[in-house]
A and B are shown apart, each in its own frame.
Chain A
Amino acid sequence: MTTTTRQGAQETVAASAWNLTKTYGQGDAQVHALRGIDFDLPRGRFTAIMGPSGSGKSTLMHCLAGLDQPSGGTVTVAGTDLGSLDDDALTIFRREHIGFVFQSFNLLPMLTAGENIVLPLELGGRRIDDAARERARMLADTLGVADRLGHRPAELSGGQQQRVAIARALITEPDLLFADEPTGNLDSTTSAEVLDHLRRSARELGQTVVMVTHERDAATYADYVVTMQDGRIA
């Protein structure tokens, strides 16, 4: 699937937004979180979406990832117009094409790290076969959490939890990996490790990565930086 889209018309574009708007609330309480965003995400690169708090970064990411419906405009990911999908189709699309790393509450507390990593496969109803287990092991190895697979999230440090989350996001070989403030809860050393892993997955595996952050330091790891200001790309 990845090879066919790579050779298609939008060879260098993994996802694009056109005239994207998002409005919350009504009347006086109305907030324009996105005020018309046009933008293309380059494939196989590490893109950072930067901007101050409240500028609409998370909202943009949610719309790009099919987690939320935009108020207007279109989002295309891997050649699919997300607006044309209903909730179930969108869910299955996410399952197959998109991976996520969040700021916190990334892992299910009652599952072990290993179980968390293969969870997306299980949700898709796939059997956890040796190949899947091997891939999980390899990812965990790359991310340096191979010796932690039997532990519960509560027994892992914040940095380890985020690395497990990255492994989980990569297990389905997604077209797009989204990370929303993945280092928000981490100290600078562990942040550096996590960011390095994201960058390597773009450089070495050709993975498209989109990271939302408000930290300038974090953005320096990215190939491209998109800056947002008050719901617009600055």
Chain B
Amino acid sequence: MRTVFLASLRTHIRRYVAAAIAVAVAVAFVVVVGVLTSGARSGLMDGLGAPYRDADYVVSAAGWPSSELDPKAAIAFAERHGENAAATGRATLPARANGRRLPSETTVGPIATSAEWRWQELSSGRFPARTGEAVADVYFALAEHIAVGDRVRIGEGAAARDVRVVGLVESPSPPAQAAMYVTWPQLLQWRDHLHLSAVAVRGEVGQLPEGAKAQSPEGFAAERLTYVQNRVDSLSVMLLLFAGIALFVAVLVIANTFSILFAQRLRDFALLRCIGATRRQVVRSVRREAAVVGVLASLTGTLVGVGLGYGLIALINTLTPTALMGAAELPTPWLLGGFAVGLVVTMVASWLPARRVVRVSPLAALRPDAAVDVHTATGLVRLALAAILLVTGPALLGVAMVQGSTALMVAGGGSVFAGVLLFGPVLVPHLVWITGALLGPAGRLATKNAVRNPRRTATTTASLLVGVTLTTAVLTGMATWRSALDEQIGRDHPIDVALTSPERPVTTDLLDRVRHTPGVERAIPVDGAVARVAGLDKPIPVVTAPAAEHVARDGGAFARVEPGKIGIDSEAFGKDLSLRPGDRVTVRVGDRRAQLQVAVGTGWGPVGVVAPETLATLTDAPEPHAIWIRASSGADPARLGGDLDKLADPVGATIENGLRTWESLDQQLEIYTWSALGLLGIAVVIALIGIANTLGLSVLERAREHAMLRALGLTRRQLRRMLATEAVLLSVVATLLGTVIGVGFAWVGYETLVTRALSDATMRVPWLSLGVVVLIAALAGLLAAVLPARRAARVTPAAGLSLD
């Protein structure tokens, strides 16, 4: 049997190449995740320890993470050690730069003036030397459009300080990271807002503050790492999920390869049985063949994965120098795991086809002219199981939608999908028939070829189906989520930019200049009068805006205030707003007054919005006190804010910029969508290798047929076109089916999850994107057919006819 095994390995190993590539890609995916995780971990460890590298001890909360250092005691402790201590921590303060209120979570941390304690790395400008100077984190500066030389106002009221940005820094230690850094004495000016996470100490620790503990720097870093590590680990789990999908697709591809190859060799196996090989011998021989393929593919995948992983780390480090990627040590468990998974997957995939080999009767070899019938019937058990899954699946999904249960949704989705896969040998050929019929007689041969082996057809399409279903589900889910968010943001930030002039009315000249500012699509003047509102320390304009619908993102709903009410923007007044929804307040304009009920919303600036009737009771001569602006799509929020601020500042007006929120959320969704699509892309590529593979093996199998067709007058080009049509049919059918299921899943997900989180979200189907997916699938199918079709067309008819 040994000679037989070696000989068949030599003869057939080349036919495994495509399937082996599929497995290798999936294994490499797993290994790359491992190397990146390891790199991220070591990078985190390096960066995390940076602030404490010269310390003898690190003092931090004993009960961390459930308790933190008492701010006052910790500050006192750090003060007591003077030059021998450096604190890490931050104060969270409101800040304004370039006429914009920065996002509320602007954090300010300490930066040492001495080089030993300083852990931030300078990327431009210089370090701050004294009070009044600050450095900004490069990424924060990038996001907020802050440059060296800018002035930033940190804090509010009496605690407000102006600082000048003298440099930009990179901050490698996540727990000590802040958006801006100032010197220790300056930071103490906001000591009421300051929370310290740790104090690094040189020399003796002395008396510890209450609830604190002292650790070695290494011990401290290790402790904090486990916390940050969770984030890395959950990212790894996410990535592994995608790797799992890729592996599943690879299983389909390699299982299909085994069944095709074994079916083609059924006569060989029968012949072996005829001349005395036992079943065990035959099966052991094919199992060993699978093992060799598995080992080679997994080994290749592991090596490629390691190379790719380290390459990616190097790439990430060059592209983004602050990325937390360290020198990864070889993640041995991951490598072994990836290798083992690849091997096991290959062996499992060969198991069923190998069992079919066992059942071959020796007589099969003796049948004359056995043009091996590779047609496989669809088993009754399989159909019954599919039926059960296809009944219970939708039922589970229905219950999931009613109850909002994620677990039921996943279970139902899983069983629907499994049902579709099992039902594939019946379903897919029918779909191919229908699609093929659209091609007319030209596609008839291709259609018949595509459906001649239902199970093979089904498995081939299944691999692509997985990727396409998930892709369309992601696309539809994201589109729905995005439109829901758009609505929500529209409600929270109805006005893109609000210019408010609390003292003087705005002039028509100002309105003109606002309207001519680049990035402004429309601007309306908002009439009102300056009023004293009980509970607010300063007078504010009370306005009415019947025309708000022309600029508001919520259609002006926020401005349609009932008579007797006053709408207050809780965000514009910040934390100090003492008014609560439902409070009754007295509003005075001159000597007229009105009792109004407070309604709270966000997104239109520091004015009170009232009904026109209400305003009429307060004043006879309303004047414009605000300009509400709708930005044109694609306008740069920071530029627009800055430009408008330049107009507003000289006349004592302020700017509320709601546009920022839109932009960053948009970007975030975009990043999620593209990451998911990119990762799914790997599964789709494997599936396409699978289609090329099936087609390639079928071409070998049909060599005589092709030769005969060529003899009868089929030109090379017609032959190539026939094979390409077959591949396109398979991929388009898989894509259409996947799109339907994917959109269905997205709808279930929407009913189950989204409608609960965002009550008035509406389902969005991104037709354009889905069309692009189908188109890409068709093109990819065409691409998959290129190699097999070329190989098939190269054979001369005579050579094909004398093949055995």
Which residue numbers of A lie inside 8 Å of B, CB to CB? 58, 62, 65, 67-69, 87-88, 91-92, 94-96, 100, 102, 104-106, 108-111, 119-120, 122-124, 154, 158, 168, 180, 185
Say yes or no: B713 contacts A92, CB within 8 Å.
yes
List B contacts of A111 (CB < 8 A). 448
Say yes or no: A68 contacts B715, CB within 8 Å.
no
Residues of B118-162 whose CB lies within 8 A of A = none
Say yes or no: A105 contacts B717, CB within 8 Å.
no
Chain B interface residue count, Cβ-Cβ cutoff 8 angstroms: 30
Q: Please, could you name 19 A-B residue pairs with CB atoms under 8 Å apart, sorted by A?
A: A62-B798, A65-B711, A67-B798, A68-B797, A68-B799, A87-B715, A91-B716, A94-B713, A95-B713, A105-B704, A105-B708, A108-B445, A109-B452, A110-B452, A119-B712, A120-B713, A123-B718, A154-B373, A180-B801
Residue with the greatest number of chain B CB neighbours at <10 A, chosen from A67, A87, A111: A67
Residue of A at shortest CB range from B453? A110
Residue B709 at the chain A interface, CB threshold 8 Å: yes
Could you mark each residue 359-391 of chain B with 1 if its beta carbon is under 8 Å from any beta carbon of chain A, else 0?
000000000110101000000000000000000
Residue of B at shortest CB range from A93? B713
Q: B716's contact among A88, A106, A158, by CB below 8 Å, is which? A: A88
16 more contacts with CB within 8 A, not counting A91-B715, A108-B708, are A62-B801, A68-B796, A68-B798, A68-B799, A91-B710, A95-B713, A100-B711, A104-B369, A104-B371, A105-B371, A109-B371, A110-B451, A110-B452, A111-B448, A158-B368, A185-B369
Residue of A at shortest CB range from B442? A125
Q: A110's contact among B449, B717, B801, by CB below 8 Å, is which? A: B449
Residue B705 at the chain A interface, CB threshold 8 Å: yes
CB distance from A156 to the nearest CB of B (A): 12
CB distance from A64 to the nearest CB of B (A): 11
Residue of B at shortest CB range from A96? B713
List B contacts of A87 (CB < 8 A). 715-716
A122-B712 Cα distance, complex, nearest whole Å: 10
CB distance from B432 to the nearest CB of A (A): 12
Which residue numbers of B lie inside 8 Å of A, CB to CB? 368-369, 371, 373, 441, 444-445, 448-449, 451-452, 704-705, 708-718, 796-799, 801-802
Residue of A at shortest CB range from B444? A122
List B contacts of A102 (CB < 8 A). 708, 801
- Given the known A-B contacts A88-B715, A109-B371, A110-B449, are A123 and B798 also in contact in the complex, defined by CB atoms under 8 Å? no
Say yes or no: A94 contacts B709, CB within 8 Å.
no
A62-B798 Cα distance, complex, nearest whole Å: 6
Residue of B at shortest CB range from A109? B371
Say yes or no: B369 contacts A110, CB within 8 Å.
no
CB distance from B55 to the nearest CB of A (A): 78
CB distance from A78 to the nearest CB of B (A): 15
- Given the known A-B contacts A58-B802, A62-B798, A123-B718, are A94 and B369 also in contact in the complex, defined by CB atoms under 8 Å? no
Residue of B at shortest CB range from A94? B713
Q: B796's contact among A67, A105, A106, A109, by CB below 8 Å, is which? A: A67
A61-B711 Cα distance, complex, nearest whole Å: 12
CB distance from B651 to the nearest CB of A (A): 80
Residue with the greatest number of chain B CB neighbours at <10 A, chosen from A65, A110, A120, A168: A110
Say yes or no: B705 contacts A94, CB within 8 Å.
no
CB distance from B396 to the nearest CB of A (A): 39
Say yes or no: B369 contacts A120, CB within 8 Å.
no
Say yes or no: B704 contacts A123, CB within 8 Å.
no
List A contacts of B798 (CB < 8 A). 62, 67-68
Say yes or no: A158 contacts B369, CB within 8 Å.
yes
List A contacts of B802 (CB < 8 A). 58
CB distance from A213 to the nearest CB of B (A): 16
Residue of B at shortest CB range from A106? B708
List B contacts of A122 (CB < 8 A). 441, 444
Say yes or no: A123 contacts B801, CB within 8 Å.
no
CB distance from B724 to the nearest CB of A (A): 17
A96-B715 Cα distance, complex, nearest whole Å: 12
List A contacts of B801 (CB < 8 A). 62, 67, 102, 180
CB distance from B794 to the nearest CB of A (A): 11
List A contacts of B709 (CB < 8 A). 108, 123
Q: When A and B form their complex, which 4 residue pairs have the shortest distance between CB atoms, in order from nearest?
A: A95-B713, A68-B798, A62-B798, A67-B798
Say yes or no: B712 contacts A95, CB within 8 Å.
yes
- Given the known A-B contacts A102-B801, A104-B369, A109-B371, are A120 and B796 also in contact in the complex, defined by CB atoms under 8 Å? no
List A contacts of B713 (CB < 8 A). 91-92, 94-96, 120, 123-124
A124-B709 Cα distance, complex, nearest whole Å: 11
CB distance from B374 to the nearest CB of A (A): 10
CB distance from B370 to the nearest CB of A (A): 11
Residue of A at shortest CB range from B710? A91
Residue of A at shortest CB range from B793? A87
A92-B718 Cα distance, complex, nearest whole Å: 11
CB distance from A61 to the nearest CB of B (A): 9
List B contacts of A68 (CB < 8 A). 796-799
Say yes or no: A94 contacts B712, CB within 8 Å.
yes
Residue with the greatest number of chain A CB neighbours at <10 A, chosen from B448, B452, B714: B714
A93-B714 Cα distance, complex, nearest whole Å: 11
CB distance from B445 to the nearest CB of A (A): 8
A96-B713 Cα distance, complex, nearest whole Å: 8
CB distance from A132 to the nearest CB of B (A): 13
Say yes or no: B712 contacts A120, CB within 8 Å.
yes
List B contacts of A109 (CB < 8 A). 371, 452, 705
Say yes or no: B711 contacts A94, CB within 8 Å.
yes
- Given the known A-B contacts A87-B716, A88-B717, are A67 and B711 also in contact in the complex, defined by CB atoms under 8 Å? yes
A154-B452 Cα distance, complex, nearest whole Å: 13
Say yes or no: A123 contacts B714, CB within 8 Å.
yes
Residue with the greatest number of chain B CB neighbours at <10 A, chosen from A69, A100, A168: A100
CB distance from A41 to the nearest CB of B (A): 18
CB distance from B59 to the nearest CB of A (A): 80
A221-B799 Cα distance, complex, nearest whole Å: 29
Say yes or no: B718 contacts A110, CB within 8 Å.
no
CB distance from B453 to the nearest CB of A (A): 10
List B contacts of A119 (CB < 8 A). 712
A105-B563 Cα distance, complex, nearest whole Å: 90
A100-B369 Cα distance, complex, nearest whole Å: 19
A119-B705 Cα distance, complex, nearest whole Å: 13
List B contacts of A92 (CB < 8 A). 713, 715
A122-B445 Cα distance, complex, nearest whole Å: 10
A111-B446 Cα distance, complex, nearest whole Å: 12
Residue of A at shortest CB range from B452? A110
A62-B705 Cα distance, complex, nearest whole Å: 16
Residue of B at shortest CB range from A169? B712
A106-B704 Cα distance, complex, nearest whole Å: 9
A123-B715 Cα distance, complex, nearest whole Å: 9
CB distance from B728 to the nearest CB of A (A): 18
- Given the known A-B contacts A94-B711, A95-B712, A106-B708, are A67 and B797 also in contact in the complex, defined by CB atoms under 8 Å? yes
List B contacts of A106 (CB < 8 A). 708
A95-B710 Cα distance, complex, nearest whole Å: 9
A87-B445 Cα distance, complex, nearest whole Å: 22
List B contacts of A120 (CB < 8 A). 712-713
List B contacts of A65 (CB < 8 A). 711
CB distance from B650 to the nearest CB of A (A): 80
A87-B796 Cα distance, complex, nearest whole Å: 9
List A contacts of B705 (CB < 8 A). 105, 108-109
Residue with the greatest number of chain B CB neighbours at <10 A, chosen from A62, A87, A92, A105: A105
List A contacts of B704 (CB < 8 A). 105
A58-B368 Cα distance, complex, nearest whole Å: 22
CB distance from B714 to the nearest CB of A (A): 5
A102-B707 Cα distance, complex, nearest whole Å: 11
A111-B447 Cα distance, complex, nearest whole Å: 11
List B contacts of A62 (CB < 8 A). 797-798, 801
CB distance from A108 to the nearest CB of B (A): 6
CB distance from B803 to the nearest CB of A (A): 9
List B contacts of A168 (CB < 8 A). 712
List B contacts of A67 (CB < 8 A). 711, 796-798, 801
List B contacts of A110 (CB < 8 A). 448-449, 451-452
CB distance from A114 to the nearest CB of B (A): 13
A154-B374 Cα distance, complex, nearest whole Å: 12
